[in-house]
Homo-oligomer: A and B are copies of this chain.
Amino acid sequence: MLPFAPLDSAAWSERLRETGLKSTSGRVAALEHLSTHPHTTANEIHTALTKELPALTLQSVHNIVQDLTAHGIIRRIDPLGPGGARYETRTDDNHHHLQCVRCGRIEDIDCAVGAAPCLTPHSTHGMRILQADVTFRGVCGECDKRPQP
């Protein structure tokens, strides 16, 4: 079970309108997919939605994730390594990530503190700190069983 129940399409529509954005089938479908499949790329979203929305183009998916990111409805992450940007719908809970250094898999992990910023640096270089992004790197169970290549 996900820590946050994924919203249904009506709820996503409402959220879009509240934010001043139009509710379109592409946006709602992308949000539904992202909430059940976190950390997916624009490409993966497009592939997944092409069955129910054959007309939706990859460029539109790029537009969608960019617009939604700019309005704070989704969050962009740029994981280490190849593969491009990934997106997620959990934006306000200050959660963190676990990434396997072998297979690249990403998992969510709740923040111990909860509120952002959950850490504060010693010296800030004159910067006003808003939040701390934490990514734990390690080796996942699957990859740990397998001998290294």
Selected interface stretch from A31-39, A53-61, A121-129: A121-129
Q: In the complex, which residues of chain B have a beta carbon less than 8 angstroms from the beta carbon of A121?
A: 96, 98, 109, 112, 136
In the complex, are the beta carbons of A140 and B122 less than 8 A apart? Answer: no
In the complex, are the beta carbons of B107 and A127 less than 8 A apart? Answer: yes
- Confirm or deny: A134 has a beta carbon within 8 angstroms of a beta carbon on chain B: yes
- How many chain copies? 2
**A132-B135, A134-B133, A135-B133 given as contacts; is B126 within 8 A of A141 (CB)?**
yes
Report the minimum CB–CB distance from A97 to chain B (whole Å): 9
Distance of A135 Cα from B130 Cα, bound (Å): 11
Q: In the complex, which residues of chain B have a beta carbon less than 8 angstroms from the beta carbon of A92?
A: none
Q: In the complex, which residues of chain B have a beta carbon less than 8 angstroms from the beta carbon of A96?
A: 121
Selected interface stretch from A4-12, A14-22, A41-49, A75-83: A75-83
In the complex, are the beta carbons of A112 and B101 less than 8 A apart? Answer: no
Question: Which 7 residue pairs across A and B have the least CB separation, nearest first?
Answer: A126-B141, A129-B138, A78-B78, A127-B138, A133-B135, A107-B125, A127-B140
* A–B Cβ pairs within 8 angstroms, 20 of them: A77-B80, A78-B80, A98-B124, A98-B127, A109-B122, A109-B124, A109-B125, A110-B122, A112-B121, A112-B122, A119-B134, A124-B136, A125-B141, A126-B141, A127-B138, A127-B139, A129-B136, A129-B137, A129-B138, A133-B134
